[in-house]
């Protein structure tokens, strides 16, 4: 299904260089989750330079641009996130070799955000009509312990006015309508500690932590949907000749099913209580919860996903990727709001310092974004 006419294709060709300039400028700006201020400020000024009039940075650091929302009962949200997974606060190194652009976060999610900005420019260049308000967002807090708080703020702002939520994230040909939920915890274990020789026999927080990890990896998994767990970080101790007084574990579990997530949460509480009953001093802190799918598929989700798949298939060769992912769409999907996460870039090395994209694909990515917007923009 091809929705683009010659005017659209000409616009896209003429804005490839604009996409490149935005991408290579924004890609150097650091933006760890909770520290997206510099990127938010850049995106705000960029949107204004395109002619956006109703654009603000909200309390969650989302850069929100409204088009034709006044008087409209419902809105359609198009979003791509500004934050990247890396903690760097200095300018990010970038290497360019032909069409290969490499820098941390360039694919996740800078390349998709560049394509979203091309879509915004299209809407502002060719005024149209739409039965819904259009909201274009460079959103915050998607990565890691950002806990999807940017999208949560959008839900707080627009609530049941949201007709559909479309997030641009990941690689083409991704067309995701299923959410992988996750619960993340900090487990802190305390013990006597002491000198490794003089205090030999005192309780050790690292030994206790090893017991906890062993117990977590022996736990029962729920039936039904695929469910996983992982201890990703262990921190504790001071020196080789000191019995550690404290050890910290970072632990998570994941599933598409809300029922499976609840099973795992209940089981974790039970395991922690077992160790407390044995005399261990152990604390459990929730770091973040990403919800999974709603038990009953939201009305309109299948129809919307099929329409998007048809559009994307008309622009790409080969099968689409309908796998479940953990993205900003988790929040609307958990609330029964039709949502898709769609990839508009090609590249690799996501969540590594060698992350890269193939810029020659950006033109196709722009076509995907604009085609999806044109469903509503007449």
**How many Å apart are CA 319 and CA 311, to the nearest integer?**
13
If residue 183 lies in a helix (H) or strand (E), which one and from where to where?
strand 181-190
Query: What is each CA distance from 321 to 8, 44, 94, 251, 374, in whole angstroms?
Result: 26, 32, 29, 28, 22
Q: Say whether pLDDT at 2 is over 60.
A: no
The model's pLDDT over 184-217, given as tens digits with 9 standing for 90+, comes to 999 999 999 999 999 999 999 999 999 999 999 9
Amino acid 294: pLDDT: 76
Angle at 75 between CA 7 and CA 51, to 5 degrees: 50
- Mean pLDDT over 349-368 rounds to 97
Sole residue written with tokens 């915050």:
140
What are the backbone angles phi and psi of residue 162, rounded to the nearest 5°? Answer: -75, 115
- What pTM did the predictor assign? 0.92
Residue 224's pLDDT band (cuts 50, 70, 90): confident
Residue 322's pLDDT band (cuts 50, 70, 90): very high
Amino acid 144: pLDDT: 85
**How many Å apart are CA 117 and CA 47, to the nearest integer?**
8
Residue 304's pLDDT band (cuts 50, 70, 90): very high
Amino acid 154: pLDDT: 98
Q: Say whether pLDDT at 1 is over 60.
A: no
**How many Å apart are CA 7 and CA 363, to the nearest integer?**
15
Amino acid 295: pLDDT: 58
Q: Say whether pLDDT at 52 is over 90.
A: yes
Residue 233's pLDDT band (cuts 50, 70, 90): very high
């Amino acid at each position: 299904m091809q929705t683009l006419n010659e005017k659209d294709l000409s616009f896209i060709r003429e804005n490839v260089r604009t996409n490149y300039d935005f991408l290579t400028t924004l890609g150097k700006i650091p933006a760890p989750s909770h520290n997206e201020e510099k990127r938010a400020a850049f995106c705000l000024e960029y949107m204004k330079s395109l002619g956006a009039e109703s654009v603000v940075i909200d309390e969650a650091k989302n850069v929100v641009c409204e088009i034709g929302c006044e008087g409209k009962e419902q809105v359609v949200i198009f979003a791509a996130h500004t934050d990247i997974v890396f903690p760097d606060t200095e300018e990010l190194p970038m290497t360019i070799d032909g069409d290969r652009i490499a820098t941390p976060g360039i694919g996740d999610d800078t390349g998709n955000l560049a394509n979203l900005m091309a879509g915004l420019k299209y809407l502002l260049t060719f005024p149209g009509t739409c039965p819904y308000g259009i909201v274009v967002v460079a959103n915050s807090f998607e990565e890691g312990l950002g806990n999807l708080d940017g999208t949560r703020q959008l839900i707080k702002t627009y609530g049941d006015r949201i007709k559909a939520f479309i997030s641009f994230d990941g690689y083409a040909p991704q067309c995701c309508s299923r959410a992988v939920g996750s619960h993340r915890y900090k487990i802190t274990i305390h013990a006597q500690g002491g000198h490794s020789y003089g205090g030999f026999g005192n309780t050790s927080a690292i030994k206790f932590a090893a017991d906890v990890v062993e117990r977590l990896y022996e736990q029962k998994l729920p039936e039904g949907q695929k469910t996983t767990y992982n201890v990703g970080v262990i921190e504790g101790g001071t020196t080789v000749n000191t019995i550690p007084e404290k050890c910290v574990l970072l632990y998570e579990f994941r599933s598409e099913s809300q029922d499976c997530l609840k099973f795992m949460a209940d089981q974790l509480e039970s395991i922690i209580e077992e160790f407390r009953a044995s005399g261990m001093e152990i604390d459990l802190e929730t770091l973040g919860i990403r919800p999974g799918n709603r038990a009953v598929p939201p009305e309109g989700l299948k129809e919307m996903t099929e329409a998007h798949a048809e559009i994307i298939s008309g622009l790409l060769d080969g099968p689409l990727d309908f796998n479940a992912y953990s993205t900003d769409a988790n929040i609307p999907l958990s609330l029964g709001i039709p949502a898709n996460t769609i990839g508009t870039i090609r590249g690799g090395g996501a969540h590594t310092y060698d992350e890269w994209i193939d810029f020659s694909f950006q033109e196709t990515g722009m076509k995907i974004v604009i085609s999806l917007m044109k469903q509503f923009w007449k």
